[in-house]
Amino acid sequence: MAHSNMNFEEEKKAVTPFYRDYATDEAMMDGAFTVADEMRSGMATSRGEIAIIAFTEDLFAGLQREAMTRGRPVEVLKQRNDNELAKRAKTTGRFVLSLPNYVGGLEFDGVVLVGVDEGRAPPLLTSQRSESKAYMTFSAHNKLYVAISRARYRVAILGTKERGASSILRGAFASRALTKE
């Protein structure tokens, strides 16, 4: 028999993680904020309880530009263990925008992972050495674990149609621990 440490109200906030793909990187970055807002609304929580986590430096920079250009409320986490920034995000009602490397030790009601698609997680290698590929795959799994385990209740994973979902998600799809929208 499985037991939950969640009470009834907390269990109502929890849903099966999902993967959603978009036509372009730009649509995916815009969609990240939409998904974060839907997540916030669905749990009746504050923006500061939602983290948007980019899986590449380029996407991180693009999400920052998107936030500035469209007036999206964010606090940008640029270093590990910045508990003050996380507290400020909750107080000011801003999403936390970060890379997987910086969210360790923090906790959010929900996380939106951006760019977990083929060629980004893990990144394509110019070198074909099997040791390099094995290390990059291990590193991608590690980053995915850190990012997912920051969520108390909800996880959304985003990618692009052109790339397709990352191969590191195959097991989660097969076991139905992750659904595709």
What pLDDT was estimated at residue 7? 76
Adjacent-strand bridge partners of 95: 74
What pLDDT was estimated at residue 129? 66
Q: What is the pLDDT of residues 3-54, one digit of tens each?
A: 457 777 777 778 899 999 999 999 999 999 999 999 999 999 999 999 999 9
**Strand pairing report for 108-114 and 50-54:** parallel
Residue 16 CB contacts under 8 Å (≥ 6 apart), including other chains: 176, 177, 178, 179
Domains along the sequence of the chain with CATH:
16-180 (3.40.50.300)
Positions of the chain with pLDDT lower than 50, given as ranges: 1-3
Report residue 113 as tokens: 């992972």
What pLDDT was estimated at residue 1? 40
Query: pTM of the predicted model, to two decimals?
Result: 0.92
First to last CA, the chain: 30
What pLDDT was estimated at residue 132? 81
